[in-house]
Each structure stands twice: as structure tokens, then as C-alpha cells.
Structure 1
Amino acid sequence: MTDFDAYERDLWAGRAGVYARGFARLTVHTIAPLLDAARVGPGSRVLDLGTGPGFVAAEAVRRGAKVSAVDADPLMADTAARNAPDADVRVAILPALPYEDETFDAVVGNFVINHVGDPEATLAELRRVLRPGGRLALTCWTMPGSGVLAVVRDAMEEVGVAWPDDVPPSPFMTYGRPDAFAALVDGVFREARVEHLDWDFTFEPDEWWENGAMARVGSNAVVLLRQDPPTIARVKEVYDRRLTTYATGDGRVSVPAHALLAHGTR
């Protein structure tokens, strides 16, 4: 494992419940286009990477696919097994997968490639488990982060919270651009393409704060929770002020989200 991989294992340990209540509500928007790009349908043998709460796996099962799913965190895998009981859910840490060569018709990953320390090695492993002609589909956040992905980070920067040296950046700070993401996938898969996925995410600001920033979900939250209470309070004030721009009039806000979808053929 790289230092980033080790950091990620610690970051997500025990976060399954709060992730399902918070951030997973944002990422469900991309499930349909992800599965469409991989051509997941009845009878497809599908591997769902970094399954988290299992929402992608459950939708693939609903489409009639035969689904396997993996996650590095045992609690996440347990949660996925409950939410997608017809899927075969296992614990596995990328880039190593516990499957034979050419096992799957499709491999999908909803915001997981940006959580691995060696994306190139991971893509090579994904190619190994895909049959010839099989389809790959992966989402990642557009970088630099903007919209809903940036509301906490922007508030921290306005307050002057410094980013510590011991919190490693994801390789997708580089690869999270359309051209770089396409080049990465094109180095391993044929017919690689990258599409923009943009939508508006509606949420209650206090609920999002509690289930994200204050629940240690993501690196922004790791850094924020190292601050003293007065600093956290100032970040919350800026966060609330910035979100007034997106108010919907019912106590909620609707903030743009921006992601990329890459797909290709083995």
C-alpha cells in the first residue's frame, strides 16, 4: 500500500453509517449513468468496486445482473450485504481482487478510483478480471473540487485553516480533469471516453454539516476536526453564509455537483 492507501483505510474505518446517511445521498445520482455506460443488464456478470453501502450493487441486481461487490472496509461490506442481499459481497483492498482472470462482463466503480494510491495498477487489475470485450465504467469528482464538494473546504480556506502536511492528497487532484482522466483510462482500455455529469443536490445545511464535516467523512472533515472549537464555529458561520446563495426557501439549499464518468472496453 502507498501512504495514501494507508490513510484511506483509517479515514473510512467505521464510517459506513454516517456515509450512508450523508454523502451516499449525493453519489446515488450517478448510479444510473454509471451502469448504463457499462451496459449492465439482465444476465450481466458485474463487479462493483468500493461498494460502500451497496447502492450500486442493489441497482445492478434490480436490473437482473449477477453481482459481485467489494469494499476495503469490513463495516462497509457488511452494510452492502444487508442492502444488496442478492449480491456476493467481499472485503478486498484495491488493487488486489480475489477473482480469476476474465470473470466479469462489466466492472463499475462509483467514486472509488479517486480513493486509491496507484490508479494505474488498479486499472490493470480491473482489465485482468474483465472478459475480452467487457466494459469498464468509473466516476470521479471533477477537480479542483467545486459546488457541493467545495462548500466546507472553501469555508475553511476563508477562515484560514491550513492544510496539514500529513494529510496526503489523492492522485485524482491531478487525474480529476476530463483530459487527464481520459488519458489514464485510455492507457489500459480501448475506446475510452469521459463525460461530464452535472446535477443539483438538495439538502438541509445543518444535516449535511453533522453527517459530513462533523462526522469525519472525507479529508476536509479530518482537517476541520483538528481545529479548536472557536475555529470550527467560525467555519460553520462561513459555511452557512455561503450556502444562503443556494437557498430554496424551505430551509434547504440546492447546490451544483460536478463529476466525470469514464468508460472503455477491454
Structure 2
Amino acid sequence: MNDGFHRQPHAVLDLPSRGQKAEKIAMLTGIRRMSSPVSLLEVGTGSGGIAHYFAHLPGIKVDVDAVDVVDSRLLHDGYRFTRVDDVLLPFGDDSFDVVISNHVIEHVGDRAQQVSHLRELRRVLKPGGIVYLAVPNRWMLVEPHYRLRFLSWLPHRLRTPYLRLRGRGDYYDCEPLERRELEELAREAGLSYRNISVSGFRATLAIEGDKGPLARILHAMPDRVLSTLESAIPTHIYLLAHDEARLATRVGVRGAVVDVDL
């Protein structure tokens, strides 16, 4: 989007957290049960921690490509990296079994650019493949990039003035999404989708361990109860595919990831 400002990459360079994030993505995509070798693309490489994790995943060969608009990598080995200038991907159609877009779509620009991002993910995805997509929920209490409460709740025109008023920056360069908006974008891009935010929440607790009494209470709730709170979960997590049939083999009716061979 040509808005006169340079969008920041906002890369997370904390390698231990990237390892935990990669483990969650592995759980939610079921990559360990896929037929080896698996071709994987990570869009938005950041530190390289997630690409490195999958390139060295025990028990299965994962052939990893990664792209980003800047090179912020701390880990370089085991995968191929390509710098890109925009949402266009330098790969042929039907190239990858798994595509990861983890907290990327909110950085690519306006709605048109977000749709273009999703269309590119669909284009490079094999017909039987899966996209893992995560994006901050617009209605999260604390905006994660600038650490300001209610920043993304504001109308778009007020976000930059509020950011400046609080001394956190000159321009709000992110576009977090409501669940409805994200699903509309997926449909416009020709992608089927399933919301797996509840499964993502449970996976986070399993990987990160004790998160305090509130998290333990939420973890004890059945899926049908947690699903009513999806709009309040800070991160939307979706699996996307070319068609609904592919998702039906991977995700239960309430968005729970099921254990099936892929």
C-alpha cells in the first residue's frame, strides 16, 4: 500500500519463543504424520527460528523454503531463504504441501494487499496441501506490536494519532483483523477455512506449561464452551485449503484438530 510510510517488519527475534511457536504449528498442521518428504514454505522468516525448526524436525524430511522482505535471520542453516519485495512469491504453482503465514497478513498493507497475499498462498499450495494462518485479533486488549491497550479497537483514522500521543511511534502500520473480516478475505481468495483458535490455545498451554490459575480454568473448559469465547482469543488461527474436503480430513466440526493420517 502506497501510504507514504515504510512498514516495519516487527520480526520476533527471541529464538526460544520461535521454537515453541514452531512446535505449536507442527502440532496443529499434523506435519509429523504427513508422507515424507514434505515441501514447506514459511512466509515471513524473521529470525529464521521456525524455518530452522522444521528443517531439522526429527523423523521426517521437510524441504523448507522461507521468504521475507528483510533479512533479520539469526539461524541460517537447513533451509533456503529468498528476499522478496512484496506479497508476490517467487515459486511456481502447486509447489508446497504446507505453507505458513504466521503474523504476516497484518503487515502486508490494505485489504487489497491482504487478499493478494492469500491468493499467492493458494497459488503455491499443492491441491492437497494446508496453509497455517495466524493473525492478531483486532479485539485483543493489548495490541502486540506497540504494546498499547485498545489501539486496534479504535477506528483506523484514530490509531496513528493515539500512537503518537502515547509516544510509541509515528505511524500505525499494522492491520489486525476481526474474525469476520479474515473469513471474508479467505473466501475472496478462493480458500476454504476452519477456525482452530481453540486448538491453538490448548496447544500453547501444552507447550508452554503452567500459565497461571486463569489459564488452568480455561484449559479445563470443554471445547463447546471455549468456542463461545473465540472472539476474545488474542490470535486467530486458521487452517486453509483449496477445498472443504481437505479440511474435513484434518479438523473436527468445532475446530478441534483431529488425529488422522494425512
SS of alignment partner, residue 3 of structure 1: coil
Flag the 1:151–1:143 CA change in 2: closer, same or farther, 3 A: same
- The alignment-based identity, stated in percent, is 19
More helix by share: 1
| CA deviation string 1:164-187 (max 9, x = no partner) | 8x6145332xxx222322232233
Find the counterpart in structure 2 of residue 102 from structure 1.
94
**Contact (CA 8 Å) 1:34, 1:261: kept in 2 or not?**
no
In 1, Cα distance between the equivalents of 2:28 and 2:184?
Answer: 18
Q: CA deviation at 1:86?
A: 0.8
In 2, Cα distance between the equivalents of 1:105 and 1:5?
Answer: 37
- The 5-angstrom pairing of residues 123-142 of structure 1 reads 123-142=118-137
Give the alignment's TM-score, normalised by structure 1: 0.61
Match of 1:35 among 26, 34, 42: 26
SS of alignment partner, residue 22 of structure 2: helix
In 2, Cα distance between the equivalents of 1:129 and 1:155?
Answer: 36
Flag the 1:186–1:86 CA change in 2: closer, same or farther, 3 A: same
In 1, Cα distance between the equivalents of 2:21 and 2:55?
Answer: 16
SS of alignment partner, residue 143 of structure 1: coil
Task: Choose between structure 1 and 2 for higher RCO, CA contacts under 8 A separated by at least 6 residues.
Answer: 1
Deviation larger for 153-162 or 182-191: 153-162
**Contact (CA 8 Å) 1:38, 1:107: kept in 2 or not?**
no
Q: CA deviation at 1:135?
A: 1.0
Find the counterpart in structure 2 of residue 49 from structure 1.
43
Unaligned runs of 5+ in 2: 152-161, 209-213, 215-231, 243-262
| CA deviation string 1:117-147 (max 9, x = no partner) | 1110111111111111211111111113325
Find the counterpart in structure 1 of residue 115 from structure 2.
120
In 1, Cα distance between the equivalents of 2:67 and 2:115?
Answer: 19
**Contact (CA 8 Å) 1:39, 1:106: kept in 2 or not?**
no
**Contact (CA 8 Å) 2:122, 2:191: kept in 1 or not?**
no
Match of 2:56 among 59, 62, 72: 62
Flag the 1:147–1:87 CA change in 2: closer, same or farther, 3 A: same
**Contact (CA 8 Å) 1:51, 1:69: kept in 2 or not?**
yes
Flag the 1:258–1:97 CA change in 2: closer, same or farther, 3 A: same
Flag the 1:123–1:134 CA change in 2: closer, same or farther, 3 A: same
Q: CA deviation at 1:72?
A: 0.6
**Contact (CA 8 Å) 1:189, 1:264: kept in 2 or not?**
no
Q: CA deviation at 1:150?
A: 8.0
**Contact (CA 8 Å) 2:19, 2:53: kept in 1 or not?**
no
C-alpha RMSD of the superposition: 3.7
How many residues align? The count is 196
Find the counterpart in structure 2 of residue 7 from structure 1.
6
Match of 2:175 among 162, 165, 171: 171
| CA deviation string 1:177-201 (max 9, x = no partner) | 223222322333544012324458x
What letter is aligned with 1:3?
A: N
Flag the 1:162–1:3 CA change in 2: closer, same or farther, 3 A: farther
In 2, Cα distance between the equivalents of 1:150 and 1:72?
Answer: 18
Give the alignment's TM-score, normalised by structure 2: 0.62
**Contact (CA 8 Å) 1:40, 1:46: kept in 2 or not?**
no
